[in-house]
């Protein structure tokens, strides 16, 4: 069976993004150069043992928080190359921008430590981390196109920045402790407890404020909101950052406890908001796939649970692997990924907010689904008895379409029909 031709129009393959290889090469080269150069400089300034211990401590919270952000991004998975680029930017680009501001300020004005921590650090570090979020808007295919994306990209940029900053703090604590005739590891371990155990989420919390502001700007229809939302998000990030630094630099226990409680309150609000946004993404995915099945006939309605529910998606892949081998499991995974991407693009078209080349991309993904479909094996149909809660904003899928939107293309106007019926639960050879 030959692969389908998914090219649409004169713009080439709508599923291939230009600049992917350049992005990957840039990320890896910058990350490698920064890692090697930074490590060598720290070893010269401190010691090899101190740097190794510092890197080890700084790495501990990274996979845990990355796993949290990947779970949050479960319904509309972001490309790993973009997530890697965001982390590298936070760890390298954000730090360099912050240092480019802080070092001259320190050299020229030499402000007290509390003033520098309260004002200079937030004003330089938050925009530095947020540059990567602004750069995503320069792409035609907006990387951040929802609230969940704002949390994910903002959090990962802050996590990258925190990693590099923690390495510097732990190395400094290791060296200073040695100068006081104390074991260097003891000083680094104490700093790790304060930064890596008690407050590993600080920089992600700060930058998520800006990330959500960028997401709201992308989703907004009014020009005023598009301009104001990122500014409010950036101001909130600076305010929370500056408040925490002011309390921490005061060395007053009650102020530190109050600031810690305030940061926890902000984090709690972000968690609640992110969970609601994630649940809404699941609802959108379910409704779009159901409409694609019932109104368009692009897939069978019995496939929807195995495409829209995360737990059932994993169960379907496991069933395919047990029944027909790894090839069938890979086919199911590909089919799920194509259907998921097509559903979110379809939802944007039907709401009157189409993404870049959305119609072409949906058609190309449908071609990919048709190509993979003969190889997939799904479990027997399941019926979801629990009624789906009402979405926050019902989709504008009625007729006529929203004002200023021409509606779906003529090729999508097919009569309601069921998808092709065949026993998904049997291996290909037994159908």
Q: Summarize the confidence of residues 334-362 as an average pLDDT.
A: 90
Residue 180 confidence (pLDDT) above 60: no
pLDDT digits (tens, 9 = 90+) for 23-37: 667 777 888 888 888
Q: What is the pLDDT of residues 119-133, one digit of tens each?
A: 999 999 999 999 999
SS3 260: helix
Query: pLDDT tens digit string along 38-62?
Result: 888 888 888 888 899 999 999 999 9
Q: In whole angstroms, how far apart are CA 388 and each of 95, 146, 287, 342, 406?
A: 45, 21, 9, 21, 29
- Indicate if the pLDDT at residue 359 is higher than 60: yes
CB distance 159 to 237 below 8 Å:
no
| CB-based contacts of 83-87 (< 8 A; 24+ apart in sequence) | 83/152, 83/153, 83/156, 84/27, 84/31, 85/23, 85/26, 85/27, 85/132, 86/132, 86/153, 86/156, 86/157, 86/160, 87/156, 87/157, 87/159, 87/160, 87/163
- 237 vs 404, higher pLDDT: 237
Look at residue 208 and give its three-state secondary structure: helix
In this predicted model, what pLDDT tens digit does every residue of 196-252 receive, in sequence order? 999 999 999 999 999 999 999 988 888 999 999 999 999 999 999 999 999 999 889
How confident is the model over 144-172, as pLDDT tens digits? 889 999 999 999 999 999 999 999 999 98
3-state secondary structure 319-357: HHHHHHCHHHHHHHHHHHHHHHHHHHHHHHHHCCCCCCC
pLDDT band at 406 (very low <50, low <70, confident <90, very high): low
Task: Quote the CA–CA distance of 35 and 37 in Å, as a whole number.
Answer: 6
DSSP state, residue 387? P
What average pLDDT does range 310-323 have in this prediction? Answer: 93
The string of pLDDT tens digits covering residues 56-97 is: 999 999 999 999 999 999 998 888 888 998 999 999 999 999
The backbone region for 47, taken as left when phi is positive above 0, alpha when psi lies in -120 to 50, beta otherwise, is beta
Beta-carbon contacts of 363 under 8 Å, excluding residues fewer than 6 positions away, are 6, 8, 14, 411
Lowest mean pLDDT segment, chosen from 109-118, 272-281, 396-405: 396-405
Cβ(197)–Cβ(121) below 8 Å: no
Highest mean pLDDT among 2-11, 32-41, 343-352: 343-352
Average pLDDT of the residues in 339-367 = 89
Share of the chain above pLDDT 70, in %: 81
Q: pLDDT at position 64, please?
A: 96
What is the full DSSP assignment across 147-177? HHHHHHHHHHHHHHHHHHHHHHHHHHHHHHH
pLDDT, mean over the chain: 84
The better pLDDT of the pair 22, 342 is held by 342
Asked if residue 389 has pLDDT above 70, the reply is no
Kindly tell me if the per-residue pLDDT of 423 is higher than 50: no
């Amino acid at each position: 069976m030959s692969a389908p031709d998914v090219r649409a129009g004169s713009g080439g393959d709508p599923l291939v993004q230009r600049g992917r290889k350049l992005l990957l090469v840039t990320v890896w080269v910058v990350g490698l150069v920064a890692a090697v150069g930074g490590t060598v400089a720290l070893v010269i300034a401190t010691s090899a043992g101190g740097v190794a211990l510092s890197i080890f401590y700084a790495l501990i919270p990274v996979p845990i928080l990355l796993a949290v952000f990947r779970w949050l991004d479960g319904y509309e998975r972001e490309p790993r190359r973009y997530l890697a680029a965001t982390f590298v930017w936070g760890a390298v680009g954000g730090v360099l921008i912050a240092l480019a501001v802080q070092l001259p300020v320190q050299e020229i004005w030499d402000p007290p430590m509390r003033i520098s921590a309260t004002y200079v650090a937030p004003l330089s570090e938050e925009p530095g981390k947020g540059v990567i979020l602004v750069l995503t808007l320069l792409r035609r295919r907006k990387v951040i196109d929802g609230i969940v994306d704002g949390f994910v990209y903002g959090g990962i940029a802050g996590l990258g920045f925190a990693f590099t900053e923690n390495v510097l703090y732990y190395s400094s604590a290791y060296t200073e402790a040695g100068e006081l005739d104390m074991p260097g590891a003891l000083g680094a371990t104490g700093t790790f407890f304060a930064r890596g155990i008690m407050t590993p989420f600080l920089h992600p919390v700060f930058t998520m404020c800006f990330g959500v502001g960028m997401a709201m700007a992308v989703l907004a229809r009014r020009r005023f909101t598009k301009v104001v939302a990122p500014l409010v998000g950036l101001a909130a990030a600076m305010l929370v950052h500056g408040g925490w630094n002011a309390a921490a630099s005061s060395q007053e226990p009650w102020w530190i406890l109050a600031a810690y409680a305030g940061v926890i309150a902000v984090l709690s609000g972000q968690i609640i908001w992110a969970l609601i946004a994630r649940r809404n993404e699941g609802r959108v995915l379910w409704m779009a796939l159901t409409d694609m099945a019932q109104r368009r006939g692009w897939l069978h309605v019995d496939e929807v649970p195995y495409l829209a529910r995360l737990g059932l998606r994993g169960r379907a892949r496991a069933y395919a692997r047990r029944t027909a081998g790894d090839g069938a499991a890979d086919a199911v995974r590909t089919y799920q990924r194509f259907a998921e991407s097509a559903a979110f693009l379809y939802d944007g078209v039907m709401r009157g907010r189409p993404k870049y080349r959305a119609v072409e991309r949906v058609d190309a993904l449908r071609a990919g689904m048709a190509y993979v479909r003969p190889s997939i094996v799904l479990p027997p149909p399941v019926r979801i008895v629990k009624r789906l809660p009402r979405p926050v904003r019902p989709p504008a899928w009625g007729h006529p379409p929203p004002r200023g939107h021409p509606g779906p293309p003529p090729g999508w106007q097919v009569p309601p029909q069921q998808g092709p019926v065949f026993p998904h639960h049997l291996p290909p050879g037994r159908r």
